[in-house]
Amino acid sequence: MAFPRDFLWGGAVAAHQLEGAYAEGGKGLSTADVMTGGAHGVPRKICPEGPVEGAWYPNHEAIDFYHTYKEDIALFAEMGFRCFRTSINWTRLFPEGDEAEPNEEGLRFYDDLFDTLLSHDIQPVITLSHFEIPLGLCTRYGGWRNRRLIDLFARYATTCFERWHDKVTYWMTFNEIDNQFAAQNDVFSWTNSGYLTSGETDRKRTMYQASHYELVASAQAVAAAHAIDPTLKVGCMCSSKLTYPFSSNPDDVLLADDENHAMYLYTDVQVRGTYPNYARRLFEREGYDLDITTQDLSDLRTGTVDYIGWSYYMTHTVKSDVDHDISDSVDNSSSHTVKNPYLRETEWEWTIDPTGMRIQLKRLDERYNGIPQFIVENGIGIVETLDEHDTVEDDARIDYLRSHIEQMRLAVEEDGVNLLGYTPWGCIDLVSFGTGELRKRYGFIYVDRNDDGTGTGRRFKKKSFDWYRRVIASNGEVL
Ligand code: BGP
């Protein structure tokens, strides 16, 4: 038997991508609520002054999970989910981000959500900040470039641990903390940092400063969780950026090695509790002169994580004699990126590379002496419509997930990797983060809702629904 008996099969979502009800229950505005929909290659844009009349904000209603969660969770239970990863909308608890006391109505929503999950024997797996922060913290303090956010996050995190430590065992602090630097242009800044780049002169320094404050905040949260309840498991969450050399040319190999630091810098700090030498040298060389105190370094040492949560969608390939101009890029891709001739791609040009998942599992296992890992996102976005039988024959999704689960099994069985669980992304169709569209679908459950606002909101089981149910029922034996 490859997977442990208690392996956490489930699915993953993020609050602002499915809850909707963006202004209900005393909720304040978050950065995600003022981010326009992108679509067709147009970058999404943050409107710091608040939602603009006529602009398209897909997550304002999303799939209305705020009102439908009981029915949706019943469907997850039918698939046999053992866990469900979602995030807490920080602004349901602290509408502006810096209130002294949390909003009771927001707390009650999550009380009920977690109780509903537990009544179906589904463990909540909770991310505290998934690519959003209260807009107030962004406009008043400049988001994570301000040290003040460490304390404000600590208050939010402590509120959550105190309230739910007996309902939630597995926590993550920041979603994809290594995805800090999205905006190369001056249009917006996305991900978890919540600072606006407009007028920014030294964006990379700001990025490392903001991520340092987040790393300290994360470490303090880990320590606080353990003090409140030593049985809590708090992980980091990174986006796998596995990068291959294009050839055996040592220059390509060396380059790929360095590019892999884009993720490992963050796991190194959070697992080992100290900045690696290559990061220190980078800061010195670039003259970043970051605000890093002795107390910060001690906090990092104390608050090391219990496991590594990570997302896996694709791999990258780099070539040393290629150097594209990426000044307009809105993601954090490398200027040395080339196509990998061995890999197919999705409609969004994301490579499909199941073996890469096993390679990354092995690397993290070797780098961090067998630390527990949790694959908390994986999946394929596809444009889909309901057929005449009110279903979607999503064989491409089944193939994608099957091939990844096979590699995961090999990593556990052959390589001895300590894997806690697997939660495919977007287990129910939701708003895509990158494009802001509903048409990029990931779910086992189809939601009848379209980007132009039409649709009944009804839920339909895709072909993959039954397939995944059998996977879980057989503990990964029947694929
Ligand atoms: C990850 C994010 C998720 C999710 C996923 C898929 O980076 O953590 O929030 O959105 O990517 O990406 P997209 O929605 O752009 O297809």
What is the domain partition of the chain in residue ranges?
A: 8-474
Here the tokens at position 188 are 């917006």
pLDDT of amino acid 244:
98
Report the C-alpha gap between 273 and 261 in whole angstroms: 16
Q: Return the percentage of the chain with pLDDT > 70, whole number.
A: 94
* DSSP 8-state secondary structure symbol assigned to residue 382: B
pLDDT of amino acid 328:
62
Q: pLDDT digit string (tens) for 292-342?
A: 999 999 999 999 999 999 999 999 999 999 998 876 665 667 899 999 999
pLDDT of amino acid 50:
87
Q: Cβ distance 111 to 151 under 8 Å? A: no
Of 97, 69, 109, 77, which is closest to residue 9 (Cα–Cα)? 77
Q: Which amino acid is it at 350?
A: W
Report the C-alpha gap between 450 and 432 in whole angstroms: 12
Report the C-alpha gap between 410 and 402 in whole angstroms: 12
β-strand partners of 377: 311
Which whole number is the average pLDDT over 7-25? 98
pLDDT of amino acid 18:
98
pLDDT of amino acid 186:
42
Gap from CA of 13 to ligand 1 centroid (Å): 9
State which H helix or E strand residue 370 sits in.
Answer: none
Report the C-alpha gap between 268 and 245 in whole angstroms: 22
Of 135, 145, 152, 150, which is closest to residue 35 (Cα–Cα)? 135
Interacting residues of 79 by C-beta distance below 8 A, sequence separation 6+: 11, 427, 444, 465, 468, 469, 472
pLDDT of amino acid 181:
61
Query: Side-chain half-sphere of 346: how many Cα atoms within 13 Å?
Result: 20
Reported as a pLDDT band with limits 50, 70 and 90, residue 206 is confident
CATH code reported for the domain at 8-474? 3.20.20.80
- Max distance between CA atoms of the chain, in angstroms, equals 64
13-27, 80-94, 136-150, 259-273: least confident range:
136-150
pLDDT of amino acid 200:
61
Handedness of CA 302, 308, 314, 319 (dihedral sign): positive
Residue 176 Cα: closest atom of ligand 1: 8
* DSSP 8-state secondary structure symbol assigned to residue 34: G
pLDDT of amino acid 202:
75
Give the residue, by CA position, lying nearest to ligand 1 atom 4: 433
Q: Regarding predicted confidence, which is higher, 87 or 34?
A: 87
Give the residue, by CA position, lying nearest to ligand 1 atom 11: 433
CA distances, 240 to each of 166, 179, 214, 358 (Å): 30, 10, 19, 12
60-64, 152-156, 302-306, 449-453: least confident range:
449-453
Reported as a pLDDT band with limits 50, 70 and 90, residue 85 is very high
Report the C-alpha gap between 135 and 48 in whole angstroms: 7
Here the tokens at position 74 are 């019943």
Gap from CA of 433 to ligand 1 centroid (Å): 5
DSSP 242-292: -EEESSS-HHHHHHHHHHTHHHHHHHIIIIISS--HHHHHHHHHHT-----
β-strand partners of 125: 85, 170
pTM: 0.96
Average pLDDT, the chain: 93
Which whole number is the average pLDDT over 211-218? 96
Q: pLDDT digit string (tens) for 120-142?
A: 999 999 999 999 999 999 888 88
Which whole number is the average pLDDT over 60-79? 98
Residue 381 Cα: closest atom of ligand 1: 16
Catalytic residues: 176, 377
Report the C-alpha gap between 156 and 376 in whole angstroms: 22
pLDDT of amino acid 3:
96
Reported as a pLDDT band with limits 50, 70 and 90, residue 45 is confident
Interacting residues of 454 by C-beta distance below 8 A, sequence separation 6+: none
Gap from CA of 154 to ligand 1 centroid (Å): 25
Which whole number is the average pLDDT over 336-364? 97
Of 176, 172, 170, which is closest to residue 193 (Cα–Cα)? 176
Give the residue, by CA position, lying nearest to ligand 1 atom 3: 433
pLDDT of 43 > 80? The answer is no
Here the tokens at position 302 are 């104390």
Reported as a pLDDT band with limits 50, 70 and 90, residue 63 is very high
Q: Regarding predicted confidence, which is higher, 191 or 49?
A: 49
Residue 379 Cα: closest atom of ligand 1: 6
pLDDT of amino acid 188:
45
CA distance from start to end of the chain: 14
Handedness of CA 79, 84, 85, 89 (dihedral sign): positive
Around ligand 1, the residues with Cβ closer than 6 Å are 14, 17, 131, 175-176, 239, 311, 377, 381, 425, 432-435, 440
Interacting residues of 257 by C-beta distance below 8 A, sequence separation 6+: none
Of 105, 216, 93, 211, which is closest to residue 154 (Cα–Cα)? 216
77-81, 137-141, 188-192, 255-259: least confident range:
188-192
Crossing angle between the packed helical segments 354-367 and 395-413, to the nearest 10 degrees: 30
Gap from CA of 332 to ligand 1 centroid (Å): 14
Report the C-alpha gap between 205 and 285 in whole angstroms: 12
